[in-house]
Amino acid sequence: MTFCQHWLFPLLFAFSFSSSAPAQHSATKEVDGVFPEAQALYLDLHQHPELSGHETETATKVAASLRRAGYEVTEHVGGTGIVAVLKNGVGPTIMLRTELDALPVEEKTGLPYASKVHTKDDAGRDVPVMHACGHDLHMAALLGTAEIMARSKNTWHGTLMLIGQPAEETISGASAMIRDGLFTRFPKPDIVVALHVGNVSPAGTVTITPGIYNTNSDSLRITIYGKGGHGAMPHTTVDPIVIAARTILSLQTIASREVKPGELAIVTVGYIRAGTKNNIIPDQAEMGLTVRTYKTDVRKQVLEAINRITRAEAAASNAPREPLIEHLEGTDSVYNNPALAERLRAPLQAALGASNVTTAEPITPSEDFSYFEAQDVPGFYFSLGGADPEKFAEAKAAGTTLPSNHSPFFAPDVDPALRTGITAEVAVLRNLLNSSPEELHKLIAASQ
């Protein structure tokens, strides 16, 4: 049997799910062939993370890997973004996305390949850098998937478009790529696909969430203005720190007393900055907020309440001027077309086993994948288990949780998580790339 003939098995079982064992066996052999290179890239990327908007070396490494795999690669799309295209006859255009950026987090995993990188952030501060959200694993999975798809062009038809998106953590990279012609300079996809690894499920599994996948997100910066003076003479001042403290507590009543019970509304004050010395009352204080909601009307209600409460607390304290409330960034929730999600459950089950593909509730973190969907492109975004299965079982039995994304202790169980990610992406792409654009559009339209 030739190598190319061997690749026919996953395609056959993408359409016939009476037995998933042969498909799983074939997928395992395929992944074995690309895993060493994918794992090597993962270890390299993990040790050399870069902050949002500064992913120059990361982008260069990913672009070089995709060129070697036979893709037509364009760099510097929307900053450091990458677009790789592989055309294979007539058929749909399917886009698979990975993120490139890391976070200003000091790694404390103790792994032998832990990041020790420090750099300057955009404000000039020295910060540690870590792939604390799994983007390194996403990139490595995309590379493995790219290799398999390029080697097995007889199992699919159409156009495969792979993108490396910068600045996901600052909710700016997707929109930057779109403004730079992502869907005009390159083929506009019929479907966009992505996955995300986390410790909420064990490695070796994936979860699907039909409908709303995550939350709307809004980032605010609030500056409270006061009147500075001596800490021992507070009666001669208007203390912005006290105003900020009252404001923080009042903001927590939005979810508990204004939003209808059962509706999601999260208002988190992530930082407060004010003052330089213990006996000096400053003349202003700054707060950073993140706001998460599922529904559009609740989102509007919460943002309006934040404005009202912030201004009212300042007025009640006789502040010399109104607070400055700035909306820094925001993104809509990611939405999985239900019909598309259910269609893709079958090939995932065939590749991974039915027990390893489950349905999950929407999550509360957010991201900018929704910007692609806002261009009238349906999306499928699913979750990849990253937790060590034994540790996951122990934590579940003890009623505890493992370190989440953005934690300095976050560390996916690379093998099997990386293998599973590659297997899942190949299964999804082959299924979609064995359809016609008309079939996919009809499927989407039927569930809208």
* 97 and 199 inside one domain: yes
* 124 and 234 inside one domain: no
* 231 and 312 inside one domain: yes
* 94 and 164 inside one domain: yes
What gap in Å lies between CA 345 and CA 340, rounded to an integer?
Answer: 9
- pLDDT bucket at 21, cuts 50 / 70 / 90: low
CA distances from 8 to 13, 30, 190, 359, 423 (A): 9, 11, 24, 29, 15
**String of b and e for 257-293 (b: at least 16 CB within 10 Å)?**
eebeeeebbebebeebebbeeeeebbbbbbbebbbbb
Number of domains in the chain: 2
Name 116's Cβ contacts closer than 8 Å, sequence gap at least 6: 47, 107
pLDDT digit string, tens, across residues 163-204: 999 999 999 999 999 999 999 999 999 999 999 999 999 999
Are the beta carbons of 207 and 358 closer than 8 angstroms?
Answer: yes
Exposed (0-12), middle (13-18) or buried (19+): which is 438, by Cβ within 10 Å? exposed
- pLDDT bucket at 19, cuts 50 / 70 / 90: very low
* 49 and 99 inside one domain: yes
* 75 and 111 inside one domain: yes
* 257 and 321 inside one domain: yes
Neighbours of 9 (CB within 10 A): 17
The pLDDT value recorded for residue 447 is 76
Report residue 8 as tokens.
């026919």
pLDDT digit string, tens, across residues 237-293: 999 999 999 999 999 999 999 999 999 999 999 999 999 999 999 999 999 999 999
Percent of the chain with pLDDT over 70: 94
The pLDDT value recorded for residue 28 is 86
What pTM, to 2 d.p., does this model score? Answer: 0.89
* 351 and 396 inside one domain: yes
Residue-number span of the structural domain to which 138 is assigned: 3-214+333-446
The CATH number that applies at residue 44 is 3.40.630.10
The CATH number that applies at residue 256 is 3.30.70.360
400 has pLDDT over 80: yes
* 31 and 146 inside one domain: yes
20-34, 164-178, 368-382: lowest mean pLDDT where?
20-34
Q: Among the three residues 331, 364, 383, which one is the final residue of a domain in this structure? A: 331
Q: Among the three residues 312, 331, 350, which one is the final residue of a domain in this structure? A: 331
The pLDDT value recorded for residue 3 is 34
- CA 376, 169, 365, 387 torsion-angle sign: positive
Q: Among the three residues 315, 331, 347, which one is the final residue of a domain in this structure? A: 331
* 254 and 316 inside one domain: yes
* 374 and 393 inside one domain: yes
Are the beta carbons of 26 and 113 closer than 8 angstroms?
Answer: no
* 64 and 145 inside one domain: yes
Report residue 166 as tokens.
């910068």
